[in-house]
Amino acid sequence: MLTRYRYLLLPFLLFMLVGCTSTESVEKKSEITISAAASLKNVLEEIKVNYEKEYQITINLNFAASGMLSKQIEQGAPVDLFFSADEQHFANLVEKGMLKKEDTAPLLRNELVLIAPKESTMSAFNDIHHINKLAIGIPDTVPAGQYAKEALENLNLWQDIEGKIITAKDVRQVLSYVETGNVDAGIVYKTDAYTTDKVKVIATIDSSLHSPIIYPVGIVAKTKHFKESEKFFDYLKGENSLKLFEKYGFKVVD
């Protein structure tokens, strides 16, 4: 009889043991998802490593053009924080209640630069008149592309070179087109140009020619991990993170 009960109890005890182990594992390691502009890839990957070492949490990073990411959030994508490369798409989500203003902050600034392949003979911004292909982000969804179009329009160049424009899904694709020589030049953020030795900066575009390049960050209203998201939100605004942003060429908003 005792032997029979032992056999009956053994599966039950194993089930309880596995169940407890799984529960402890879930409680021990939570995770959050951050949707961020492609231009933030390098610095956020370093911040992720540092943060995961310090805290028991997994950070999932989703990079794309800010316009595309904002649409994903509108459609209900399971995102906890949004780190945009422009204020327009970000403000749209605030207006729709998908981001609460009190859980947001303008954090970084950036600049636009004209770049060319390392071996290019381009040496000044005016050389743009003589090239065959210029890459920029898709203006409707890529903030860097919108800023580039604004600058070219304000310089009265857009109509002249529109036929030479090659559009890309995000600013990192623009950078790739220039690195590989598939285009003669491209317009990207200064921070993107810092990430490679395969391109050269021809000119920094005057900031008065386009809208201010501000990177706001905020907690998505429908997050199921508010405390964890708030903790990471505060970490991004902390001294260690701000030093890393500056290391990668960003400027911190005063």
Output the domain CATH number for residue 159: 3.40.190.10
Tokens of 158: 């857009």
Same domain, 53 and 129: no
35 within domain boundaries: yes
User: Would you state the pLDDT for residue 24?
Assistant: 42
What does the mean pLDDT of the chain come to? 91
Residue of 249, 154, 171 whose CA lies nearest to 208: 154
Type and span of the H or E element at 92:
helix 87-95
13 within domain boundaries: no
Cα–Cα distances (Å) from 34 to 69, 90, 179, 250, in that order, read 10, 14, 28, 19
pLDDT confidence of 17, banded at 50, 70, 90? very low
Structurally, how many domains does the chain consist of?
Answer: 2
Same domain, 203 and 132: yes
Same domain, 170 and 116: yes
Same domain, 119 and 101: no
* Domain span including residue 167: 112-209
97 within domain boundaries: yes
pLDDT above 90 covers a percentage of the chain that reads 87
User: Would you state the pLDDT for residue 254?
Assistant: 85
Residue of 133, 193, 119 whose CA lies nearest to 163: 133
Same domain, 146 and 96: no
